[in-house]
A and B are shown apart, each in its own frame.
Chain A
Amino acid sequence: MPPLTDHHAATESNGRGTSEMITFEEVSKSWGDNHVLRSLNFHVAPGEKVSIIGPSGSGKTTILRILMTLETPDDGLVSIEREPLWDARGGAKPKETKQMRAICRKIGMVFQSFNLFPHMTAVQNVMEAPVQVLGMSKDDARERAQDLMELVGLSKHLDHKPPELSGGQQQRVAIARALAMRPKILLFDEPTSALDPELIGEVLAVIRDLALSADMTMLMVTHEMRFAEEISDRVVMFDSGRVVEQGPPHKIFKDPDHERTKLFLRAVLER
């Protein structure tokens, strides 16, 4: 199986040493009166698998979206491998730059609603970015795409278009598409929330394989508590724009410290 990522876990050529892959320093974001993130301080180490749980509207997705440059923070500093991605310290309005896109290339994202390109076949979806962005030849890109499609169990669906695939299959193609760019960080925004119950398992299986075999950093927002417990190195409980508490899965799920966490888990796990 070809390597999924080609980064080296601990050291970086810029010499500063990367004990942190992702850094949020005092990051704030609001929509009008709604403070989605309040002076958030948050770090992720290289290769760490982190799950973020919490009620809707708590700002969990915003964290991912800021990383993916889909939203702009109002304040604070966001860095990837210690290189600033968003510098909004002191309320400055950061501008989009070419450097940003270069840093952004280290990050991939899997969306709740898959967002596959409907006019392209599955394999074309996966090939698109390597050809257009990395300048890969079509043959090389196709080879990589076929390997990835096999990885996610969809070798028989290479030439199917998204409308012909089930939700679970589409999401697996989406994961393959994100992996095609060999990202160092992979973000998952509620990857199974839009799926019919019986299709969730196949997608979680793929994510589980990734978590266990790849040294890619993974940051996942999810409502699948048991799954989060199974694959995460760290679980973060998020509410009202702040980190309520965080720690290893067995601590958060079995013996949380905070009342808010307990209430949330009780509401979610009791069905």
Chain B
Amino acid sequence: MSTVFEYRELFIQGLQATALLTVLGLLLTLVVAFTAGLARLSRHWVLRAPSYVFVEVFRGTSMIVQLFWFYYALPQLGLQLTPLFAGVLVLGLNEGAYAAEVVRGTIASRPRGQTEACIALGLSPAQRMRRVLIPQSIPAMLPSFGNVFVDLLKATSLVSFITVSELTFLALDVRNNTGETTAVFLTMLVIYFALAMAIALLTLLLERRFAIDRKRRPSLRKALLGSGGGPVSA
């Protein structure tokens, strides 16, 4: 374990890179999710069709394939991206495709009566979406977006494949240099775990803050175990 302490600089660097990737990835994910999600709800098929294709393609292919494609295959078409750019781009597009379904599903599952009340009051479809349906949906989306956040954290480890010096990449490095396999990997896993728990706690706090119905307080148990997500959601 003393080796781990010696190399703590690298671990901290890895932690910071992982956190940066996660946050940047989250920002792009939000943009993509709302764009694609709302487009899927549009009455105009010109918006619905491309977003459907986008979502299915990015959800249907492995994230690793996407990483390799954007970083290694694109140059053959003439475009060379930096590892960090490619990493954040793929994180955002991939998770955004999954999150788009969260956006679409949550908004679409608002009680029909809300839409009817808007029609009765004469609100336009755009006003209805902007003023009534989306604001109501945000608290309902938070648990799922909490999962997305954790999934992003875990997905950052894949970015090690395209030479980004995040936690997994650097852990391998340290291990290669020191041969302290168990200690190094244990530390790496614990750091990820701690970050994941921090995100779960943050999500819980946000849920409580934004709850419309104060009577049903989100539970810690639910926040930790979540209602879905996957190992890496690749």
Instruction: Assess A/B contact in the complex (Cβ within 8 A).
Output: yes
What residues of chain A have their CB less than 8 Å away from a CB belonging to chain B?
68-70, 101, 104-105, 107-109, 111, 113-119, 128-129, 132-133, 161, 163, 177-178, 181
B213 touches A163 (CB 8 A): yes
Judge whether B190 is part of the interface by a CB distance below 8 angstroms.
Answer: no
Contacts of B123 in A (CB 8 A): 128-129, 132-133
Q: Is B122 a contact partner of A115 (Cβ separation < 8 A)? A: no
Report which of A70, A119, A129, A177 forms a contact with B116, defined as CB distance below 8 A.
Answer: A70
Instruction: Check B187 for interface membership: any CB of A closer than 8 A.
Output: no
B233 interfacial by beta-carbon distance below 8 Å: no
Restricting to B115-139, which residues have a CB under 8 Å from any CB of A?
116-117, 119-124, 127, 131-132, 135-136
Secondary structure dominating the interface of B: helix
Which residues of chain B from 84 to 140 have a CB within 8 Å of any chain A CB?
A: 111, 113-114, 116-117, 119-124, 127, 131-132, 135-136
Q: Which of A114, A132, A181 contacts B131 (CB 8 A)?
A: A132
Whether A177 pairs with B121 at a CB distance below 8 angstroms is yes
With A119-B212, A163-B215, A181-B121 as given contacts, are A132 and B114 in contact (CB-CB < 8 Å)?
no
- Is B44 located at the chain interface by the 8 A CB criterion? no
List the A residue with the shortest CB-CB distance to B136: A119
Which residue on A lies nearest to B138, using beta carbons? A119
**A177: B residues at CB distance < 8 A:** 121
Residues of chain B contacted by A115 (CB below 8 angstroms): 111, 113-114, 116-117
13 A-B contact pairs sorted by A residue (CB < 8 Å): A68-B119, A111-B113, A111-B116, A113-B113, A115-B111, A115-B116, A117-B117, A118-B136, A118-B212, A129-B123, A133-B121, A133-B124, A181-B121
Asked if B221 is an interface residue, CB under 8 A from chain A, the answer is no
With a cutoff of 8 Å between Cβ atoms, the chain B residues found around residue A70 in the complex are: 116, 119-120
